[in-house]
A and B are shown apart, each in its own frame.
Chain A
Amino acid sequence: MFEITQEVVASHGFTTEEYNKVLDIMGREPNMTELGIFSVMWSEHCSYKSSKKWLKSLPTEAPWVICGPGENAGIIDIGDGQAAIFKMESHNHPSYIEPYQGAATGVGGILRDVFTMGARPVANLNALRFGNPDHPKTRHLISGVVSGVGGYGNCVGVPTVGGECEFNDSYNGNNLVNAMTVGIVDQDKIFYSAATGAGNPIVYVGSKTGRDGIHGATMASTEFTEDSEAKRPTVQVGDPFTEKLLIEACLELMQTDCIIGIQDMGAAGLTSSSFEMASKGGVGVELDLDKIPQREENMTAYEMMLSESQERMLMVLRPGTEVKAEEIFKKWQLDFSVCGELTETGHMVLRHKGEIVADLPIDPLAAASPEYDRPWIPTPKPATLDMASSPAPEDPMATLLHMMGTPALASKRWIWEQYDHMVMGDTLGHGRPGGDAALVRVHGTKKALAMTSDCTPRYCFADPVEGGKQVVAETWRNITATGATPLAITDNMNFGNPEKPEIMGQFVGVCEGMSAACIALDYPVVSGNVSLYNETNGQGIHPTPTIGGVGLIQDAAQSVGIAFTAVDQDIVLIGETKGHLGCSLYLDLIEGRSDGSPPPVDLSVERKNGEFVRSEILAGSINACHDLSDGGVLVALTEMALAGNIGAIVDTPEINIPFHAWAFGEDQARYLVTTLNAKELIARANQAGVFTQVLGRTGGNDLNLSAVGSLEVDKIKQANEEWMPKYMS
């Protein structure tokens, strides 16, 4: 038996104050297993101790929200008795230490969060952020992460339909891998995690438990140092084939009435799953660890409880249904073991080799879970950029060509072609990766879900409040640009060390901005995940609240993509252009500066413009639509031309700002659309109080801007497509 020394306590991540609480709750010194359980349950990863106070301020309700944050994933009503279940989760630390397995198990974990609630996963998305492409580790990390995401998702047969990939120095020592899964379920077949009914059997299913991933949750709750490589053994190993079997077996069992509660074993494995199920149901739990299927010999109770072996689930069954349930799992060749039962004691009691190896009170441990109001200081508001300080580029078309070939804007085809984005046969042709939002039909119906993930960390870094508004608004706009109605978001909050007041200030600011946008756009948060301590050697990442948005369109046939669909269509810019260059991509790429304030988000204009665009798409007057973001009007126009292999002839409208500010400024609430009848569209826009400008017409092989010059679409395409394969080869 190990002795509980001060070092042991500290190595489990406890502060003195926290450890004193442990002693209070236990009324005695805990043993190692108990200490380990406290440690993972109170880790930042599982307890949200730094973030809880602020997360509570986010709006989480709407008439279509069936289940908000607090369960494995969020649930929204999509009509006809169906619901969409979704969540995004980070696997940042593991993916940096072991990119392939870290990313793969990130996908596996988020899939389980969704199918544990009864939904069949129908789409995966992922948001990847890496360091500077010139940093010696970046290429290796991209290669491992992308194969890991693909290796797992392709095998389980869930299409990976969207995402993003961005580079910035602040991720040099700490890349971000945020994975999102969306599933579909019948509303009368939703399963929750609460365990109820003393005497009911607890069943373990899935893979066997090994020694992998022990203390993963604690590892994810500390900063990195140079010796983080030594933490590689804390990274789990994924087995997508077993996951596929687990999906099918669970969904088959869910068609019966055997299950009372079910929860996947994610971070902190058996500990957090059994603990959370019992805590939610207000019961006690007794586990016989000899019944846990084990991959290795002589595992201790400590190891079994803290292992993060993948592809495992814990269920509470109705008594007497064990045989029926076991048959299903046998058919899918998965382990099935009745390993304990619920009790009325309110305690978690673990037996191993005939002895009681742990006995902890559940409610006090959960209720005493630390919650901090960490000191924070607001980020100072940056000064607005003086437009005069930005010199006009000599040749704007050459500038455009250059920008389209930079890592920021270059095509990410190299990545998404390694993901099966069509399996399951419902990914719409114009809803494949590369557009504003992915479009996936709800199987067997005319409906489709629109899904996207987005974040602009440079805005959040400069001004967390405006940046927080912008990330929510941009996903809302992405979904709107397909014709779908945005319904809800999942948030994956990636930040640095919350013990630093300026980092905590970023978190608080972003939450404030997000809240405002969620309220103004009727677009609540239904699930999420917080990843803190994204720092290496004291250097924090840019604040990165990745937002995953989900929307619905009743008739998939009415949706549109970003590609120009035909020649001789009018190109209309919706929304006002003021030439906001502060914090813009242009400033970063061309002038090497990142100063100024990010573009302000006027949420009422955002809503008005978006609703106008959506109603026009549904009315059939818009043939293609692209929201404006990084790089402004000219980049969006170029992307539409590239996607459709059709050029455009554009007369720059009369403007009273420098051309490059008009072309590359990143004012919000804007869309580019094509239509057969600009005159009528504009008349309706005027009625709705929506600002519009006709830019020109589609056609030809060039992007022809009367005022500044012309570029072959093929030439831009080459620059846009060649960067990533070249870089990775």
Chain B
Amino acid sequence: MKAAVIVFPGSNCDRDIQVSLRKSMGDEPLMVWHGDSSFDYVDLIAIPGGFSYGDYLRAGAMAAKSPVMREIIARANKGVPVLGICNGFQILTESGMLPGALMRNAALKYVCRDINLRVEANNTAFTQGYNVGDVLRIPIAHHDGNYYADADTLSELEDYNRVAFRYTDASGNQAVDANPNGSQNDIAGILNKNRNVLGMMPHPERLADAELGGEDGKRMFDGLVAALG
């Protein structure tokens, strides 16, 4: 598998995902600068967390208009898997590659902590390393992760099994206390229609190493390598 990590000037999880990908792939992912409008063919494009261009406007809004995003949209339309984590998810919604929007957390505060996620769909390259119903422990770290979409969009996401992950408690049950940001339907990650674009607020790359406290995130990268070769 060949992978690219997109680097915006304010990306700050680029190295973290580079490390996680390297560990599962055994190879170096390609680091692609935001100003580059073309780069080698890859099997996976990862858009990391951070503050792309400072995010003084809505998070991800400026990055969505960057040269590299035009190329990413074109490749996603041809079926290349694109994974957006945290700020990456925000960029994917701002660019229209995923529906809905990520609003300020309901508690209005930035929050960094381990949360529990339930796997809702494993028929994708990203999640085939998990079983549906698995409860994962993965960290979140964001200020704007409160997923919102209109009622039609939400039913479409639900009806077509496009919700990939949901916030739950440690036993896998949805609960008000277990939703860290106010997201509708406890949504933590969603897929596009073709299931080749995943956006998620939690950071699987942060718990992909036992020494850091867990390896639930590693299964995503191992699964991607298994799916994409």
Contacts and interface: CB of A to CB of B under 8 A. Distances in A.
Please say whether chains A and B are actual partners in one complex: yes
Interface of A: 147, 150-151, 154-157, 239-242, 244-245, 248, 332-333, 416-430, 432, 441, 556-557
B218 to A, nearest CB: 12
Nearest to B208: A425
A240 B56 CA distance: 10
B51 A155 contact: yes
B94 interface: no
A429 B211 contact: yes
Interface stretch (B5-13, B145-153, B193-201): B5-13
B211 A157 contact: no
Interface in B55-113: 55-56, 109-113
A146 to B, nearest CB: 9
A714 to B, nearest CB: 14
A428 B111 contact: no
A420 B112 contact: yes
Given A241-B53, A419-B112, A425-B205, 5 more contacts: A418-B109, A424-B12, A424-B16, A426-B212, A441-B211
A429 B51 CA distance: 25
Contacts of A430: 213
B112 A425 contact: no
B214 interface: yes
Given A417-B111, A429-B212, A441-B211, A422 B10 contact: no
A157 B212 contact: no
B53 to A, nearest CB: 7
Contact of B141 (A154, A241, A429): A154
B13 A244 contact: no
B219 interface: no
Contacts of B13: 157, 423
Contact of B206 (A147, A245, A333, A425): A425
Contact of A425 (B10, B53, B109, B209): B209
A426 B49 CA distance: 16
Contacts of B20: 425
Q: Which of B15, B112, B209 has the most CB of A within 10 A?
A: B112
A333 B9 contact: yes
A332 B53 CA distance: 11
A244 B111 contact: no
Contact of B213 (A147, A154, A428, A557): A428
Nearest to A430: B213
A422 B9 contact: no
Contacts of B109: 147, 418
B12 A429 contact: no
B15 A424 contact: yes
A417 B113 contact: yes
A154 B13 CA distance: 11
Which 3 pairs between the two chains have the least Cβ-Cβ distance? Answer: A157-B12, A429-B213, A241-B54
B189 interface: no
A242 B11 CA distance: 12
Given A248-B9, A418-B110, A429 B214 contact: yes
B163 to A, nearest CB: 25
Contacts of A242: 54
Nearest to B16: A425
A542 B203 CA distance: 42
9 contacts: A157-B12, A242-B54, A332-B9, A418-B112, A420-B110, A420-B112, A422-B206, A424-B15, A425-B209
A244 to B, nearest CB: 6
B19 interface: yes
B51 A423 contact: no
A113 to B, nearest CB: 20
Q: Which of B9, B19, B214 has the most CB of A within 10 A?
A: B9
A359 to B, nearest CB: 40
A557 B210 CA distance: 10
A429 B211 CA distance: 6
Contacts of B29: none
Contacts of B51: 155, 157, 240-241, 244
Nearest to A433: B112
Contacts of B182: none
B129 interface: no
Contacts of A150: 110
B14 to A, nearest CB: 9
Contacts of A248: 9
A498 to B, nearest CB: 38
A557 B211 CA distance: 7
A239 B109 CA distance: 19
Contacts of B214: 429
A428 B203 CA distance: 16
B227 to A, nearest CB: 23
Contacts of A441: 211
B16 A155 contact: no
A163 to B, nearest CB: 14
Given A422-B212, A425-B19, A244 B12 contact: yes
Contact of B110 (A154, A424, A428, A557): A154
Contacts of B141: 154, 420, 422-423
Nearest to B54: A241
Nearest to B203: A422
Contact of B112 (A240, A417, A556): A417
A328 B53 CA distance: 17
Contacts of A429: 211-214
Contacts of B53: 241
B211 A428 contact: yes
A424 B11 CA distance: 11
A438 B35 CA distance: 37
Contacts of A419: 110, 112
